[in-house]
Amino acid sequence: MAKTKLSIDRGRDIFLHRTKVENLFISEYLPDAPGDYVKVFLFGLMYAQYEIKPDRSELAKLLGLSVEEIAEAWIYWESRGMVRIIREKDSNNEEVSHIVFLSKIEELYGKLSEPQQAATVSSEVTAEEDLPLYVSIDDMDFDEVINNKLVDRRLRELYEKYQVTTGRTISRQEISKIEDAIKVYGIEPEIFDFAIDYCADLEKYSIDYIFKVALRWTEDGCRTVEEAKRLLDRHSRRNDCYRQVFRALGFNRLPAPIDREIMDRWFDQMNCSLAEVLDACSAAAGIREPNLKYVNKVIENRRLEKGGINTRLPKDSNQNVSADTASSDEGSPVSRKVLADYYEFIRNEDEKERESRITEVLRKIPGMRETFEAESSVNSRMLSLRPGADNLDTRQRLRAERIAIEENRKQLLTVNGFPSDYLTRKYRCSICRDTGYTDEGMVCSCCKERAAEAFRWHTEKEKA
């Protein structure tokens, strides 16, 4: 009997077929990986399984990423032990990156059958040579990580801290999460260390919970433990304000995001004191169903009645305003809202004057326009960089370029008869830079003088 040969016609369109992805990748590596990096990995794996060599510009356009971002993704997956990058020269002596996809099943459980061998994709995407490759720790146990000299000392200390805090052996996934927090997301080790203690006090030991807390502090600008503590203190005091407002209105629930947004406007934009807000809440006690919108209307109406002016001052106070009177809460000639508006006004005026000086030098000094264009280019490149340790060298190089541009601009100014600081912003108060608050969050001493100015400014504006 003749034998029959069976086969499946797969056609040429790879998008009509399937891509095999190891479940180990889905369960162990995908949850912690940045979304763009996962896109690069899966598309690369699809091309590799069908032995297609993608053009780097086409791949970048297809994924909505830059060529540099795709190169960074491959470096990330190499650090995770999922791929190996082999750089070679092609027939035209151009560098080509071969991305070898490694099987984690094979690594952990032995040699696989031929159809399951690791796939390779040849790509023209070239990674920057000066980007650091992280030590892969996915196949180390905890003792090996602690004793491995190639693992950063600060990371080893965090691994130990987390293990002692949780009272159990740290897992491979938790090690990777901490490493990514420091190296990929740019969280300071001391911030992550403090986050472990902070979450432990809340009886929260999940590495994902700790990571989110540390990342939120970092995104809020905290680089030290002291800054994180100040941020927590501000949040604590604000939460206490929320509780008092809700208690005054008889609410037995937690504030929703929209509730916090309304109350934050009272305290941050309208500069209301807690006493003013609670007094407005008492006015809402007589209505059938008190709500924040009603309280908000009460506050706005009272502000309109006062016109931003402190009505407790004597009627002739606009004739004789002293610095001492202007500095006290009871006798200030203007409300905090008017004072804040006046600070914004003088900042805008100063900026207009600076723009006028810039226009002048652009017209009078040859080559000055080129310095501004060069500075704009450097700033754009700086903003396009992703946060994390990968771009430290690039950031330092761009900072050096910006400093050189500023020095060149100063030389052009002095050669053409202008002061070297002619284009520098001129603040009326160098301590608070015309904001009313010092870097430590304290009320600046210039508020005494600015309050008297703000009273006259507001009075003239009301007359106009």
Kindly report, residue by residue over 321-359, the tens digit of the pLDDT. Answer: 333 333 334 445 677 778 888 889 988 988 899 889 889
Residue 453 to residue 411: CA distance in whole angstroms: 37
pLDDT at 37: 87
Any domain includes 338: yes
pLDDT at 327: 38
- What Cα–Cα distance (Å) separates residue 116 from each residue in 12, 40, 111? 22, 21, 9
Residue 334 β-bridge partners: 309
Model confidence pLDDT, tens digit, residues 213-240 = 999 899 989 899 999 888 888 888 888 8
308 Cβ contact partners less than 8 Å away, ≥ 6 residues apart: 334, 335, 337, 338, 341, 458
Does residue 199 sit in helix, strand or coil? Answer: helix
Any domain includes 300: yes
Residue that terminates a domain, selected from 223, 244, 266: 223
337: tokens are 């809202």
Any domain includes 360: yes
| pTM: predicted TM-score of the whole model, two decimal places | 0.34
The CATH number linked to 209 is 1.10.10
Residue that terminates a domain, selected from 279, 306, 333: 306
Any domain includes 215: yes
Residues 266/337, Cβ–Cβ less than 8 Å: no
* Same domain flag for 214 and 108: no
Model confidence pLDDT, tens digit, residues 371-388 = 888 888 888 888 887 766
Range of the domain at 447: 312-365+419-464
Residue 325 to residue 330: CA distance in whole angstroms: 8
Gap between the terminal Cα atoms of the chain: 107
* Same domain flag for 187 and 294: no
pLDDT at 390: 65
> If we measure between CA atoms, which residue out of 102, 136, 121 comes closest to residue 52?
121
pLDDT at 433: 86
* Same domain flag for 326 and 294: no
Element holding 88 (H helix, E strand): strand 83-89
* Same domain flag for 179 and 272: no
Residues 194/177, Cβ–Cβ less than 8 Å: no
Any domain includes 130: no
* Same domain flag for 289 and 162: no
Any domain includes 136: no
* Same domain flag for 217 and 345: no
- What Cα–Cα distance (Å) separates residue 29 from each residue in 19, 180, 230, 289, 421? 17, 12, 35, 51, 52
CB atoms within 10 A of CB 328: 10
* Same domain flag for 240 and 286: yes
> If we measure between CA atoms, which residue out of 259, 255, 267, 253 comes closest to residue 299?
267
Residue that terminates a domain, selected from 194, 223, 252: 223
* Same domain flag for 360 and 406: no
DSSP state letters, 286-349? TSSS--HHHHHHHHHHHHHHHTTB-TTS-GGGGG---HHHHHSTTT-SB-HHHHHHHHHHHHHH
Burial classification of residue 430, based on how many CB atoms lie within 10 Å of its CB (0-12 exposed, 13-18 middle, 19 or more buried): exposed
* Same domain flag for 148 and 114: no
Any domain includes 7: no
pLDDT at 193: 93
The tens-digit pLDDT sequence of the chain (464 residues) is 444 444 444 445 666 677 788 877 787 778 878 888 888 888 888 877 777 777 777 778 888 888 888 888 888 888 877 888 877 766 677 667 778 888 766 555 444 444 444 444 444 433 333 333 333 444 445 555 555 544 577 888 898 899 889 888 888 888 889 988 888 889 999 999 999 998 988 888 899 999 999 998 999 898 999 998 888 888 888 888 888 888 888 888 888 888 888 888 888 877 788 888 888 888 776 677 778 888 888 887 776 555 554 434 333 434 333 333 333 344 456 777 788 888 899 889 888 998 898 899 899 888 889 988 888 888 888 888 776 656 778 888 888 888 998 899 889 889 899 988 888 888 888 888 888 888 777 788 888 888 888 888 887 876 66
* Same domain flag for 326 and 463: yes
Residue 67 to residue 255: CA distance in whole angstroms: 45
Residue 181 to residue 24: CA distance in whole angstroms: 22
Residue 85 β-bridge partners: 99
* Same domain flag for 323 and 463: yes
Any domain includes 203: yes
* Same domain flag for 458 and 321: yes
pLDDT at 211: 92
Residues 242/255, Cβ–Cβ less than 8 Å: yes
Number of structural domains, the chain? 5
